[in-house]
Amino acid sequence: DIQVTQSPSTLSASIGDRVTITCRATLSISYWLAWYQQKPGKAPKLLIYKASALESGVPSRFSGSRSGTEFTLTITSLQPDDVATYFCQQYNSYVFGGGTKVEI
Amino acid sequence: EVQLVQSGAELKKPGESLKISCKGSGYSFGDHWIAWMRQTPGKGLEWIGLINPSDSDIRYSPALQGQVTISADKSFSSASLEWSSLKASDTATYFCARRKVDQDAFDIWGQGTVVTVSS
């Protein structure tokens, strides 16, 4: 099975900072990866699909990119509402990354 | 509003049976596959399986196949996840989620059902 390794597990940043989260797949998965945001006690929310497509209604400060088997979620200017845990999910067997907790 | 609404929290004993549900509204239920996921502090988010409500075609995670049963009733816009004999290791929060039409990503999620299995 293809696995994804997400890093870092925890990230502390300041309001306005550029934040980057990475997922690395063990094999090529083309563009087939999504990113989710989850706040405590809530369900995950889709942010990005197909590596870089922004889901409708998601602020444009969120973006996704791919370089080979490495995928990146970027928040260009961190806002207080962005405090959450972020997960990647590869389409093959719907495997999720371990999550990155973003703190202010 | 497009939404999935799940049934309430459950407290069960090992060996008991359970069926939890997920009801869709605001869209044509048969047009999107429905997935079930579970989340635990130790294992994170795990995919359990996927059902097409139009024809009840089902895909299970190999790791969980045989441990749960997924079903759907298109006429009631509802999907279900069922156990015949619960184990303590089934304790988790369970989410249903709608698969995007042409992507293996999930754009609408239920609010989650907390299942606790304890003697």
Residue percentage of chain A with pLDDT more than 90:
90
Name the nearest CA neighbour of B34 among B26, B24, B25, B44. B24
Residues of A with Cβ-Cβ distance to B45 under 8 angstroms:
44, 87, 89, 96, 99
pLDDT for A93: 86
Chain A residues touching chain B at CB-CB below 8 Å: 32, 34, 42-46, 49-50, 55, 87, 89, 91, 93-99
Comparing alpha-carbon positions, the chain B residue that sits nearest to A100 is: B44
How many degrees, rounded to 5, is the angle at CA A61 between CA A2 and CA A65? 30
Per-chain mean pLDDT for chain B: 96
Q: Please list every residue in chain B whose beta carbon sits closer than 8 Å to the beta carbon of residue A55.
A: 107
Residues of chain B with pLDDT under 50: none
Amino acid at A101: K
> From the CA of A16, how many Å to the nearest CA of chain B?
27
**Mutate which: B106, B111, B113, vs A, most A CBs within 10 A:** B106
User: Are B100 and B27 within 8 A, CB to CB?
Assistant: no
**Over the stretch B92-108, which tens digit does the pLDDT of each residue have?**
999 999 999 989 999 99
Instruction: Please report the pLDDT score of residue A2 as a whole number.
Output: 85
Neighbours of B15 (CB within 10 A): 11
Distance from CA of B41 to the nearest CA of A (A): 10
Is A98 close to B107, i.e. CB distance below 8 A? no
Q: Look at residue A88 in the predicted model and tell me its pLDDT.
A: 97
Cα-based distances in Å from A18 to A53, A60, A82, B119 = 19, 13, 12, 48
